[in-house]
């Protein structure tokens, strides 16, 4: 399976390249952006996958976060995929901003209506990961994952379940306990059905309880002025679970005074997050 270059722009000595390919997992054509630092011209480089949030495409993070300036300092590539299948023929997939198009939730759907196309978990972990490692100058032994909101949920769950692929994780304003918040309940019931036991495979709080021997290295930032903090993100539940399990040394959870859910927040702390990843990826 080949990736096709759509555009290329020089950036901080490297390049931001948009690629397109046909996804077998999703049954449609998909686009993703990659920042390749100048070091990638002569050698394979470490990389961070960034998973975006509800309504976003592959462009939001690349255009708004300011991450390339920081990634270029460390010689690290950034990989920014889309958030859902695009252009598939499913009735109602564009009816809601928080379900369907732009809201794949990084799960593999099992409900018949969605199961053929909505396989964002396998798309990220299996298909896109393999394509990038095969066709771009990325060091597959030095890869990590981070994300925002829905993508923060995706980054944390993917990291916990795939420690051999991803060396560390970080998240901005993650949906930490989707089984117990409106966004998560809508998505998980829609994609996976009513059996809440199946939801646990895509819930960070629940995964922590079932992966007790998995060594973790996670940074989480959330703003105290985030409108979704109490109802949707459930960071308190994450923090309480971390403490109950005695895993405080594996988690850094920071509450940033006065910051909201936006890319202004992300851009303020993106340097900290890339440094967090660089500490492990460059060892």
Active site residue 95: no
CB 249 within 8 A of CB 216: no
* Tokens 């303020």, located at residue: 268
Listed in order, strand segments (DSSP E) in the chain are 4-11, 14-23, 28-36, 45-51, 77-81, 138-148, 169-172, 218-223, 251-256
Question: 105's torsion region: left (phi>0), alpha (psi -120 to 50) or beta?
Answer: left
Rg (CA), the chain: 18
Biggest alpha carbon–alpha carbon distance for the chain:
51
Set 226, 273, 276, 277: catalytic member: 226
Set 149, 170, 173, 179: catalytic member: 149
Set 261, 273, 276, 277: catalytic member: 261
User: CA-to-CA distance for 70 and 54, rounded, in angstroms?
Assistant: 24
Which residues make beta-bridge pairs with 256? 223
Pairing of strands 77-81, 45-51: parallel
Active site residue 226: yes
- State the number of CA atoms in the 13 A half-sphere of 131 facing the CB: 23
Q: Please give the backbone phi and psi of residue 49, each rounded to the nearest 5 degrees, phi first.
A: -80, 135
What does the DSSP 8-state code read for residue 248?
G
Active site residue 129: no
**CA-based end-to-end distance of the chain:** 32
Give catalytic residue positions: 149, 226, 261
């Amino acid at each position: 399976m080949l990736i096709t270059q759509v555009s290329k722009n020089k950036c901080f000595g490297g390049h931001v390249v948009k690629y397109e390919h046909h996804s077998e997992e999703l049954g449609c054509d998909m686009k993703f952006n990659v920042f390749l630092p100048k070091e990638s011209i002569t050698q394979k480089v470490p990389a961070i996958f960034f998973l975006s949030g509800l309504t976003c495409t592959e462009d939001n993070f690349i255009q708004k976060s300011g991450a390339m300036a920081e990634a270029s300092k460390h010689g690290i590539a950034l990989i920014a995929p889309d958030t859902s299948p695009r252009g598939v023929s499913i009735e109602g997939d564009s009816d809601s901003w928080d379900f369907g198009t732009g809201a794949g939730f990084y799960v593999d759907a099992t409900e018949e209506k969605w199961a053929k196309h909505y396989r964002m978990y396998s798309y990220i972990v299996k298909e896109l990961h393999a394509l990038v490692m095969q066709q771009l100058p990325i060091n597959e032994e030095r890869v990590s994952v981070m994300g925002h909101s829905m993508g923060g949920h995706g980054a944390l769950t993917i990291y916990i379940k795939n420690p051999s692929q991803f060396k560390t994780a970080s998240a901005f304003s993650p949906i930490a306990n989707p089984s117990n918040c409106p966004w998560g309940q809508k998505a998980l019931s829609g994609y996976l059905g009513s059996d809440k036991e199946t939801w646990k495979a895509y819930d960070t709080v629940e995964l922590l309880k079932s992966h007790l021997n998995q060594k973790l290295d996670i940074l989480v930032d959330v703003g105290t002025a985030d409108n979704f903090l109490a109802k949707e993100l459930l960071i308190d539940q994450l923090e309480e679970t971390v403490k109950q399990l005695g895993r405080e040394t594996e988690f850094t959870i920071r509450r940033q005074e006065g910051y909201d859910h936006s890319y202004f927040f992300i851009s303020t702390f993106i340097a900290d997050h890339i440094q967090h990843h660089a500490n492990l990826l460059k060892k």
